Amino acid sequence: MIETSLIDGISIQLSQMLLVLALSPLLTGLVRKIKARLLRRQGPPLLQPYRDLIRLVRKEAIVAESASWLFRIVPYIVFAATWVAAALVPTFATGLLFSWSADLIVIIALLGSARFFLALAGMDVGTSFGGIGSSREAMIATLAEPALIMIVFTLALVAGSTQLSTIAGIMLSPGVGLRVSLGMALIALVIVAIAENARIPVDNPATHLELTMVHEAMVLEYSGRHLALIELAASLKLLLYFSLIACVFVPWGLAPAGAPLHVHLIGVAVYVAKLGVAGFLLAAFETMIAKMRVFRVPDFLGAAFMLGFLGTLLLFVSRSL
Protein backbone atom coordinates (compact mmCIF):
# COMPACT_ATOMS: atom_id res chain seq x y z
CA MET A 1 0.00 0.00 0.00
CA ILE A 2 2.78 2.36 0.96
CA GLU A 3 4.74 1.40 -2.12
CA THR A 4 1.90 2.19 -4.51
CA SER A 5 1.36 5.59 -2.86
CA LEU A 6 5.10 6.24 -3.08
CA ILE A 7 5.11 5.36 -6.76
CA ASP A 8 2.04 7.53 -7.24
CA GLY A 9 3.78 10.38 -5.47
CA ILE A 10 6.93 10.04 -7.52
CA SER A 11 5.04 9.88 -10.79
CA ILE A 12 2.87 12.87 -9.92
CA GLN A 13 5.91 14.85 -8.83
CA LEU A 14 7.85 13.98 -11.96
CA SER A 15 4.96 14.65 -14.31
CA GLN A 16 4.36 17.98 -12.61
CA MET A 17 8.02 18.96 -13.03
CA LEU A 18 7.92 18.10 -16.71
CA LEU A 19 4.48 19.64 -17.20
CA VAL A 20 5.46 23.06 -15.85
CA LEU A 21 8.65 23.01 -17.87
CA ALA A 22 6.81 22.08 -21.04
CA LEU A 23 3.84 24.40 -20.59
CA SER A 24 5.57 27.59 -19.51
CA PRO A 25 6.86 28.74 -22.94
CA LEU A 26 3.44 27.97 -24.37
CA LEU A 27 1.85 30.21 -21.76
CA THR A 28 4.23 33.04 -22.66
CA GLY A 29 3.42 32.49 -26.35
CA LEU A 30 -0.29 32.48 -25.59
CA VAL A 31 -0.17 35.78 -23.72
CA ARG A 32 1.84 37.37 -26.54
CA LYS A 33 -0.55 36.03 -29.16
CA ILE A 34 -3.67 37.24 -27.36
CA LYS A 35 -2.11 40.66 -26.77
CA ALA A 36 -1.26 40.94 -30.44
CA ARG A 37 -4.74 39.88 -31.51
CA LEU A 38 -6.32 42.40 -29.12
CA LEU A 39 -4.18 45.05 -30.83
CA ARG A 40 -5.37 43.74 -34.20
CA ARG A 41 -1.96 42.43 -35.07
CA GLN A 42 -1.26 38.96 -36.37
CA GLY A 43 1.29 38.22 -33.64
CA PRO A 44 3.95 35.53 -33.52
CA PRO A 45 2.91 31.89 -33.66
CA LEU A 46 1.96 30.22 -30.39
CA LEU A 47 5.03 28.02 -30.50
CA GLN A 48 7.47 30.84 -31.18
CA PRO A 49 8.92 30.84 -27.61
CA TYR A 50 9.99 27.20 -28.06
CA ARG A 51 11.72 28.06 -31.32
CA ASP A 52 13.43 31.02 -29.68
CA LEU A 53 14.67 28.85 -26.84
CA ILE A 54 16.01 26.17 -29.15
CA ARG A 55 17.72 28.75 -31.34
CA LEU A 56 19.28 30.43 -28.31
CA VAL A 57 20.68 27.26 -26.73
CA ARG A 58 22.34 26.33 -30.00
CA LYS A 59 24.16 29.63 -30.34
CA GLU A 60 27.52 30.33 -28.78
CA ALA A 61 27.29 32.39 -25.61
CA ILE A 62 29.04 35.75 -25.67
CA VAL A 63 30.27 36.89 -22.29
CA ALA A 64 31.58 40.37 -21.57
CA GLU A 65 35.29 40.64 -20.85
CA SER A 66 34.75 42.21 -17.46
CA ALA A 67 32.31 39.49 -16.34
CA SER A 68 33.27 37.14 -13.50
CA TRP A 69 32.51 33.47 -13.01
CA LEU A 70 29.34 34.44 -11.19
CA PHE A 71 27.86 35.78 -14.44
CA ARG A 72 28.11 32.34 -16.01
CA ILE A 73 26.57 30.30 -13.21
CA VAL A 74 23.73 32.68 -12.32
CA PRO A 75 21.46 31.50 -15.18
CA TYR A 76 21.65 27.95 -13.87
CA ILE A 77 20.94 29.01 -10.30
CA VAL A 78 18.03 31.22 -11.36
CA PHE A 79 16.56 28.50 -13.52
CA ALA A 80 17.01 25.78 -10.89
CA ALA A 81 15.51 27.83 -8.04
CA THR A 82 12.52 28.85 -10.14
CA TRP A 83 11.97 25.34 -11.43
CA VAL A 84 12.11 23.82 -7.95
CA ALA A 85 9.66 26.45 -6.73
CA ALA A 86 7.32 25.84 -9.66
CA ALA A 87 7.50 22.09 -9.10
CA LEU A 88 6.25 22.49 -5.53
CA VAL A 89 3.08 24.47 -6.27
CA PRO A 90 0.20 22.05 -6.85
CA THR A 91 -0.98 22.43 -10.42
CA PHE A 92 -3.25 19.50 -11.26
CA ALA A 93 -2.89 17.33 -8.13
CA THR A 94 -2.18 17.90 -4.48
CA GLY A 95 -0.39 14.61 -3.85
CA LEU A 96 3.07 15.97 -4.64
CA LEU A 97 5.74 13.71 -3.17
CA PHE A 98 7.93 16.52 -1.89
CA SER A 99 5.32 19.09 -0.96
CA TRP A 100 6.36 18.74 2.70
CA SER A 101 9.91 19.79 1.94
CA ALA A 102 8.88 23.37 1.29
CA ASP A 103 5.87 25.38 2.36
CA LEU A 104 4.59 28.58 0.77
CA ILE A 105 7.14 30.74 2.61
CA VAL A 106 9.97 28.60 1.23
CA ILE A 107 8.56 28.85 -2.30
CA ILE A 108 8.53 32.63 -2.04
CA ALA A 109 12.03 32.63 -0.60
CA LEU A 110 13.25 30.44 -3.46
CA LEU A 111 12.00 33.05 -5.90
CA GLY A 112 13.80 35.60 -3.72
CA SER A 113 17.04 33.62 -4.11
CA ALA A 114 16.60 33.60 -7.87
CA ARG A 115 16.08 37.34 -7.90
CA PHE A 116 19.06 37.95 -5.58
CA PHE A 117 21.39 36.23 -8.01
CA LEU A 118 19.84 37.80 -11.09
CA ALA A 119 20.29 41.26 -9.58
CA LEU A 120 23.93 40.41 -8.87
CA ALA A 121 24.40 39.26 -12.46
CA GLY A 122 23.00 42.58 -13.63
CA MET A 123 25.77 44.35 -11.75
CA ASP A 124 28.52 41.96 -12.74
CA VAL A 125 29.51 43.32 -16.12
CA GLY A 126 29.73 46.85 -14.80
CA THR A 127 27.48 48.71 -17.22
CA SER A 128 25.02 51.40 -16.36
CA PHE A 129 22.02 49.48 -17.69
CA GLY A 130 22.70 46.44 -15.58
CA GLY A 131 22.94 48.67 -12.52
CA ILE A 132 19.73 50.51 -13.26
CA GLY A 133 17.89 47.22 -13.71
CA SER A 134 19.25 45.68 -10.51
CA SER A 135 18.61 48.78 -8.48
CA ARG A 136 15.00 49.08 -9.62
CA GLU A 137 14.44 45.36 -9.24
CA ALA A 138 15.68 45.67 -5.65
CA MET A 139 13.20 48.47 -5.03
CA ILE A 140 10.30 46.49 -6.47
CA ALA A 141 11.32 43.37 -4.58
CA THR A 142 11.56 45.13 -1.23
CA LEU A 143 7.93 46.14 -1.63
CA ALA A 144 6.58 43.02 -3.29
CA GLU A 145 8.14 40.50 -0.92
CA PRO A 146 6.63 41.86 2.31
CA ALA A 147 3.28 42.13 0.52
CA LEU A 148 3.61 38.49 -0.43
CA ILE A 149 4.47 37.49 3.13
CA MET A 150 1.38 39.34 4.33
CA ILE A 151 -0.72 37.44 1.79
CA VAL A 152 0.82 34.20 3.05
CA PHE A 153 -0.09 35.21 6.60
CA THR A 154 -3.70 35.77 5.56
CA LEU A 155 -3.92 32.43 3.78
CA ALA A 156 -2.11 30.61 6.56
CA LEU A 157 -4.38 32.04 9.22
CA VAL A 158 -7.48 31.01 7.29
CA ALA A 159 -6.18 27.54 6.57
CA GLY A 160 -4.16 27.04 9.77
CA SER A 161 -1.19 25.97 7.67
CA THR A 162 1.47 27.29 5.33
CA GLN A 163 1.51 24.06 3.31
CA LEU A 164 0.03 24.72 -0.10
CA SER A 165 -1.65 21.34 -0.40
CA THR A 166 -3.36 21.85 2.97
CA ILE A 167 -4.40 25.39 2.01
CA ALA A 168 -5.88 24.11 -1.26
CA GLY A 169 -7.72 21.39 0.64
CA ILE A 170 -9.20 23.89 3.11
CA MET A 171 -10.21 26.21 0.28
CA LEU A 172 -12.07 23.33 -1.34
CA SER A 173 -13.99 22.56 1.83
CA PRO A 174 -17.41 24.23 2.16
CA GLY A 175 -16.58 25.82 5.53
CA VAL A 176 -14.48 28.64 4.12
CA GLY A 177 -17.10 30.67 2.32
CA LEU A 178 -16.55 34.22 1.20
CA ARG A 179 -14.27 36.21 3.41
CA VAL A 180 -13.19 39.81 3.22
CA SER A 181 -9.62 38.85 4.08
CA LEU A 182 -9.45 36.40 1.23
CA GLY A 183 -10.74 38.99 -1.22
CA MET A 184 -8.06 41.40 -0.09
CA ALA A 185 -5.45 38.69 -0.37
CA LEU A 186 -6.56 37.89 -3.92
CA ILE A 187 -6.30 41.51 -5.07
CA ALA A 188 -2.94 41.88 -3.36
CA LEU A 189 -1.66 38.65 -4.88
CA VAL A 190 -2.66 39.76 -8.38
CA ILE A 191 -0.84 43.07 -7.91
CA VAL A 192 2.26 41.31 -6.64
CA ALA A 193 2.11 38.79 -9.49
CA ILE A 194 2.02 41.61 -12.03
CA ALA A 195 4.99 43.34 -10.43
CA GLU A 196 7.05 40.20 -9.88
CA ASN A 197 6.62 39.05 -13.46
CA ALA A 198 7.65 42.41 -14.87
CA ARG A 199 4.30 42.95 -16.60
CA ILE A 200 2.59 46.22 -17.55
CA PRO A 201 1.97 48.58 -15.71
CA VAL A 202 5.08 47.94 -13.59
CA ASP A 203 7.50 46.88 -16.29
CA ASN A 204 7.18 46.05 -19.95
CA PRO A 205 8.41 42.62 -21.06
CA ALA A 206 8.60 43.75 -24.69
CA THR A 207 10.49 46.99 -24.28
CA HIS A 208 14.05 47.86 -25.04
CA LEU A 209 13.74 51.54 -24.33
CA GLU A 210 16.52 52.27 -21.89
CA LEU A 211 14.68 54.19 -19.26
CA THR A 212 11.65 51.95 -19.04
CA MET A 213 13.45 48.67 -18.59
CA VAL A 214 13.75 46.85 -15.32
CA HIS A 215 13.97 43.13 -15.88
CA GLU A 216 15.25 43.47 -19.44
CA ALA A 217 17.97 45.87 -18.32
CA MET A 218 19.27 43.36 -15.80
CA VAL A 219 19.63 40.60 -18.39
CA LEU A 220 20.85 42.86 -21.19
CA GLU A 221 24.33 41.33 -21.32
CA TYR A 222 23.13 37.75 -21.56
CA SER A 223 23.14 35.80 -24.79
CA GLY A 224 22.89 32.25 -26.11
CA ARG A 225 22.19 29.44 -23.66
CA HIS A 226 22.42 31.77 -20.67
CA LEU A 227 19.68 33.98 -22.06
CA ALA A 228 17.59 30.92 -22.92
CA LEU A 229 17.69 29.75 -19.31
CA ILE A 230 16.76 33.17 -18.00
CA GLU A 231 13.87 33.46 -20.45
CA LEU A 232 12.69 30.00 -19.50
CA ALA A 233 12.93 30.91 -15.82
CA ALA A 234 10.84 34.03 -16.46
CA SER A 235 8.19 31.92 -18.19
CA LEU A 236 8.26 29.44 -15.33
CA LYS A 237 7.78 32.24 -12.85
CA LEU A 238 4.71 33.51 -14.68
CA LEU A 239 3.33 29.99 -14.73
CA LEU A 240 4.11 29.61 -11.04
CA TYR A 241 2.13 32.71 -10.11
CA PHE A 242 -0.82 31.57 -12.23
CA SER A 243 -0.66 28.14 -10.58
CA LEU A 244 -0.46 29.72 -7.15
CA ILE A 245 -3.51 31.91 -7.69
CA ALA A 246 -5.38 28.97 -9.25
CA CYS A 247 -4.41 26.56 -6.49
CA VAL A 248 -5.47 28.87 -3.68
CA PHE A 249 -8.43 30.76 -5.06
CA VAL A 250 -9.90 28.41 -7.70
CA PRO A 251 -8.79 25.00 -6.47
CA TRP A 252 -11.61 23.14 -8.23
CA GLY A 253 -10.40 20.28 -10.40
CA LEU A 254 -7.25 19.58 -8.36
CA ALA A 255 -6.90 15.83 -8.06
CA PRO A 256 -6.67 14.85 -4.36
CA ALA A 257 -3.93 12.52 -3.15
CA GLY A 258 -4.59 8.90 -4.03
CA ALA A 259 -7.17 9.64 -6.72
CA PRO A 260 -7.36 7.33 -9.76
CA LEU A 261 -5.67 8.13 -13.03
CA HIS A 262 -8.62 9.64 -14.87
CA VAL A 263 -9.14 12.20 -12.10
CA HIS A 264 -5.56 13.26 -12.62
CA LEU A 265 -6.11 13.56 -16.34
CA ILE A 266 -9.18 15.70 -15.71
CA GLY A 267 -7.00 17.73 -13.34
CA VAL A 268 -4.49 18.37 -16.09
CA ALA A 269 -7.22 19.45 -18.48
CA VAL A 270 -8.77 21.76 -15.93
CA TYR A 271 -5.34 23.19 -15.13
CA VAL A 272 -4.61 23.94 -18.78
CA ALA A 273 -8.02 25.60 -19.07
CA LYS A 274 -7.28 27.72 -15.97
CA LEU A 275 -3.97 28.80 -17.47
CA GLY A 276 -5.72 29.77 -20.68
CA VAL A 277 -8.26 31.91 -18.84
CA ALA A 278 -5.58 33.52 -16.69
CA GLY A 279 -3.42 34.21 -19.75
CA PHE A 280 -6.36 35.84 -21.48
CA LEU A 281 -7.14 38.00 -18.46
CA LEU A 282 -3.51 39.08 -18.16
CA ALA A 283 -3.28 39.96 -21.85
CA ALA A 284 -6.55 41.89 -21.75
CA PHE A 285 -5.45 43.77 -18.63
CA GLU A 286 -2.07 44.64 -20.13
CA THR A 287 -3.70 45.87 -23.31
CA MET A 288 -6.06 48.16 -21.44
CA ILE A 289 -3.58 49.84 -19.15
CA ALA A 290 -0.58 52.09 -19.68
CA LYS A 291 2.79 51.61 -18.03
CA MET A 292 3.30 53.74 -14.96
CA ARG A 293 6.35 55.77 -14.01
CA VAL A 294 8.90 53.89 -11.93
CA PHE A 295 8.22 55.98 -8.87
CA ARG A 296 4.51 55.28 -9.01
CA VAL A 297 5.27 51.58 -8.53
CA PRO A 298 5.79 51.96 -4.74
CA ASP A 299 2.21 53.27 -4.43
CA PHE A 300 0.90 50.37 -6.50
CA LEU A 301 2.78 47.79 -4.45
CA GLY A 302 2.12 49.69 -1.23
CA ALA A 303 -1.57 49.11 -1.90
CA ALA A 304 -0.91 45.37 -2.14
CA PHE A 305 1.08 45.49 1.10
CA MET A 306 -1.67 47.36 2.93
CA LEU A 307 -4.35 45.00 1.60
CA GLY A 308 -2.35 42.00 2.76
CA PHE A 309 -1.71 43.64 6.11
CA LEU A 310 -5.37 44.54 6.60
CA GLY A 311 -6.38 41.02 5.69
CA THR A 312 -4.01 39.64 8.32
CA LEU A 313 -5.10 42.17 10.90
CA LEU A 314 -8.76 41.35 10.31
CA LEU A 315 -8.04 37.69 10.92
CA PHE A 316 -6.08 38.45 14.09
CA VAL A 317 -8.91 40.59 15.39
CA SER A 318 -11.75 38.32 14.32
CA ARG A 319 -10.17 35.31 16.00
CA SER A 320 -11.55 36.37 19.36
CA LEU A 321 -14.99 37.47 18.16
Partner 1 sequence: MKNWSALDVTLWCILALLITAVVAIAIGRARWARWPVYGASLTISGTVCAYSLVHLIAQPAVAWATVLPLGLPWIGANFRIDALAAFFLIVINLGAAAASLYGLGYGRHESAPERVLPFFPVFLAGMNMVLLAADAFTFLLSWEFMSLASWALVMTHHQEEDNRKAGYVYIVMASFGTLALLLAFGLMAGPEGGYAFATMRAHGTSPGLAGLVLALALLGTGSKAGLVPLHVWLPLAHPAAPSHVSALMSGVMTKVAIYGFIRITFDLLGPVAWWWAVPVLFAGAVTATLGVLSALMQNDIKRVLAYSTIENIGLIFVALGLALAFQGNGMKAAAALAMTAALFHVLNHSLFKSLLFFGAGAVLTATGERQMERLGGLLNRMPMTGLLFLVGSVAISALPPLNGFASEWLMLQAILLSPELPQWALKLLVPAVGAMLALAAALAAACFVRAFGISFLGRPRSDAATGAHEVDRLSIVAMAILAVLCLLAGIVPAVIIDAVAPVVQALTGTRMPVQTDVAWLSIVPIAESRSSYNGLLVFIFIAASASLAAFAIHRLASDKLRRAPAWDCGFPDQNPATQYTADSFAQPLRRVFGGFAFRAQEDLHMPLPGDGSPARLTVRLHDLVWEWIYEPVVRLVNVLAERLNHLQFLTIRRYLSLVFGLLVLLLLILAIRP
The residues in 234-273 that bind partner 1, with binding defined as CB under 8 A, are none
Residues that bind partner 1 (rule: CB under 8 A) add up to a total of 91
Binding mask 275-314 for partner 1 (x = CB under 8 A): -------------------xx--x------x---x--xx-
CB of 53 to partner 1, least distance (A): 10
CA–CA distance from 311 to each of 153, 154, 203, 235, 280 (Å)?
A: 9, 6, 27, 29, 28
Q: How many CB atoms lie within 10 A of CB 216?
A: 19
CB of 284 to partner 1, least distance (A): 30
For partner 1, give the closer residue by CB, 81 or 247: 81
Instruction: Among 106, 245, 250, 263, indicate the residue that binds partner 1 (CB under 8 A).
Output: 106
For partner 1, give the closer residue by CB, 210 or 269: 210
Phi first, then psi, for residue 255 (nearest 5°) are -75, 125
Instruction: Among 101, 183, 277, 284, indicate the residue that binds partner 1 (CB under 8 A).
Output: 101
CB of 255 to partner 1, least distance (A): 18
Q: Are 243 and 90 in contact (CB under 8 A)?
A: yes
Instruction: Among 26, 143, 184, 268, indicate the residue that binds partner 1 (CB under 8 A).
Output: 143
Residue 129's closest CA among 225, 234, 222? Answer: 222
Instruction: Among 176, 208, 258, 261, indicate the residue that binds partner 1 (CB under 8 A).
Output: 208
Radius of gyration of the chain (CA): 20
Q: Does 100 bind partner 1 (CB under 8 A)?
A: yes
Q: Does 163 bind partner 1 (CB under 8 A)?
A: yes
For partner 1, give the closer residue by CB, 156 or 255: 156
Q: Does 316 bind partner 1 (CB under 8 A)?
A: yes
For partner 1, give the closer residue by CB, 3 or 65: 65
Distance CA(249)–CA(97), nearest Å, equals: 22
Distance CA(200)–CA(314), nearest Å, equals: 30
- CA quadruple 156, 159, 163, 166: dihedral, nearest 10: -170
Contacts of 8 (CB under 8 A, 6+ apart): 95, 257, 258
CB of 287 to partner 1, least distance (A): 27
CB of 261 to partner 1, least distance (A): 25
For partner 1, give the closer residue by CB, 120 or 281: 120
CB of 262 to partner 1, least distance (A): 27
Give residues 51-80 in contact with partner 1 (rule: CB under 8 A).
Answer: 57-70, 72-73, 76-77, 79-80
Distance CA(298)–CA(302), nearest Å, equals: 6
3-state SS assignment for residue 209: coil
Q: Does 201 bind partner 1 (CB under 8 A)?
A: no
3-state SS assignment for residue 93: strand
Q: Does 130 bind partner 1 (CB under 8 A)?
A: yes
Distance CA(251)–CA(270), nearest Å, equals: 10
CB of 33 to partner 1, least distance (A): 26
Contacts of 285 (CB under 8 A, 6+ apart): 194
The amino acid at 224: G
